[in-house]
Amino acid sequence: MTTRFAPYDRHCKLADMILADPMLLGIVERLDISLGFGDATVEDICARYGLSSELFLMICNVYSFDTYRTNIEGLCRKDLPYLVAYLRASHRYYTEVCFPRLHEHIHAMVALLDPTNRGVIDRFYDDYQSEVDRHFAYEEDVVFPYIESLSTGGSPVEGYHIEQFGHNHSNIEEKLNDIKNIVLKYLPEGCAVTSRHQVLTDIFRIEKDLDRHTEIENLILIPLVEKLENNE
């Protein structure tokens, strides 16, 4: 976590921000910003990549500061494609990198356990993966296409509003927390210690990233789409 006490602004050097909070590397990667940007400021980088500095800073500040309060007044329709692209890239990061790595470490951790204990862990993970798949599929197949239509000037779909996404925004972290507690508190000593630590490290990292992902959807995406739905 960053040691700064004030939110980032457009004059901050991006390299300094990442040194203060390495989690911001994930944001840079998901927005296809190449490393090697020297002493360029946020304003410089956003101009170079055609990004809104306000949106970029808002995402970074949500990640780095627990007490940060968003204000979407400066955001507009043209910011939505970048925000959706960022969220899609986050989904790919979770499904192609984070979850396969966690699953691999869980498999190694339980390899020496008896079938009963191994089956309990496998079922918990399978249930969690199924919930994540449903959550992401709904966003990819329903929510994001709806938002992309709005961003290009389309009218809201009759009978559907983004508040439905807000009301049904499932918490996909609950089952992950259950797995964490089982690994931390209840697994017998027969499981591989190194793999056990790797699993917990994976879970802590995923939990934090998913929490920020949800915050971005709740504090930036949903209010911005509601603003467009109301023609504001």
Give residue 169's pLDDT band: very low, low, confident or very high (50, 70, 90).
low
Residue with tokens 């197949």: 141
pTM confidence score? 0.89
Residue ranges of alpha helices (H) inside the chain are 14-20, 24-30, 42-49, 53-64, 80-93, 99-110, 115-138, 144-151, 162-167, 174-181, 193-216, 222-229
CA dihedral 114, 117, 120, 121 (to 10 degrees): -90
Checking if the pLDDT of 224 tops 80, the result is yes
Model confidence pLDDT, tens digit, residues 30-77: 999 999 999 999 999 999 999 999 999 999 999 999 889 999 998 988
Q: What is the mean pLDDT of the chain?
A: 88
Stretch 197-213: mean pLDDT: 93
Rounded to whole angstroms, how far apart are CA atoms 228 and 232? 6
Rounded to whole angstroms, how far apart are CA atoms 93 and 116? 32
Stretch 173-185: mean pLDDT: 85
Q: What does the pLDDT read at residue 1?
A: 45
